[in-house]
Amino acid sequence: MKNLIQIIKYNLKIIFGNRFVYFLGASVLFYLLITIISLFSPDVITIENVYYQLIFPGILLVFFPTAFGIQNDEDARILEILFGIPNYRYKVWLVRLAIIFCMVFIMIFLLSFANSFLLVEIPVLEMSAQLWVVLIFFGTLGFLVSTLVRNGNGTAVVMVLVGLALWFVHGFIGDSKWNVFLNPFTTSTNMSESLFKTMLWQNRLMILVASVTAVLWGLINLQHREKFIK
């Protein structure tokens, strides 16, 4: 247990680096800004609104550690160590992804709990779980792109473009199982509740399959040692 705690602490230092505090601060500020606007808004706040309110701070939280993970290793000068031990790099990045997603879930849970207290009562655990699935997708996609681009800043640019494209498509396809931003708490759907639940289950299943595929693809890319160590 002592060794496990030390491993987690060491990986947290590498994963989040010195710049994560800025992303964490931006995420909290964004959440507070939207919350304050909602508090003074004359419109009725619904669970559907809360879902979209929380998803963007969550994306900011998961964005840095996955997009800049390899660059942080390079800055810490441990790439040679990771790639010098056969198959060890796979275990390292899998453990790191698990740590990242656990941290993100905890933060989203806390924000959901705060929202339930400040704005409107929501099913905190269900809200956190639904958001977590989408954030896992963006996190694993960021990891995959980082293994292709091999640069944190370049990965950031690509992920911003991908996110904007997905949000643009979201406005057209609406309540579709192909919509990454499909809101499970929507109240404006014209289909029956049972059909919507089936579609939502298919949507989440496809997102999880895409996430696993992104992780495996990224791990395969890590085999090309010469591309990361110059």
- Over residues 71-100, the pLDDT tens digits come to 655 555 555 555 555 555 667 778 788 888
Q: What is the per-residue pLDDT for 15?
A: 62
Cβ count near 155 (within 10 Å): 26
Number of residues assigned to the chain: 230
DSSP state for residue 177 in the 8-state scheme: T
| Residue pLDDT, tens place only, 112-168 | 888 888 777 888 899 999 999 999 999 999 989 988 887 777 888 888 898 889 888
Q: Give the integer Cα–Cα distance in Å for 165 and 159.
A: 10
Q: What is the per-residue pLDDT for 209?
A: 95
Angle at CA 173, nearest 5°, toward 192 and 191? Answer: 5
Domains: count for the chain: 1
Q: Give the integer Cα–Cα distance in Å for 222 and 165.
A: 27
Q: Which two tokens stand for residue 158?
A: 């690509």
Residue 40's pLDDT band, with cuts at 50, 70 and 90, is: confident
More confident site: 15 or 33: 33
Q: Quick one: which H or E segment has residue 23?
A: helix 20-39
| Residue pLDDT, tens place only, 165-185 | 988 888 788 778 888 988 888
Whether residue 96 contacts residue 46, with contact meaning beta carbons closer than 8 Å, is answered with no
Domain enclosing residue 75, as ranges: 2-228
Given a cut of 90, whether residue 224 has pLDDT beyond it is no
Q: What is the per-residue pLDDT for 33?
A: 81
Residue 12's pLDDT band, with cuts at 50, 70 and 90, is: low
What average pLDDT score do residues 94-108 get?
86
Q: What is the per-residue pLDDT for 205?
A: 94
Place of tokens 């992303």: 23
Q: Give the integer Cα–Cα distance in Å for 1 and 7.
A: 10
More confident site: 24 or 177: 177
**What percent of the chain has a predicted confidence (pLDDT) above 70?**
75
Q: What is the per-residue pLDDT for 3?
A: 67
Cβ count near 100 (within 10 Å): 26
Q: Among 5-14, 28-37, 77-86, where is mean pLDDT lowest?
A: 77-86
Question: What is the model's pTM?
Answer: 0.84
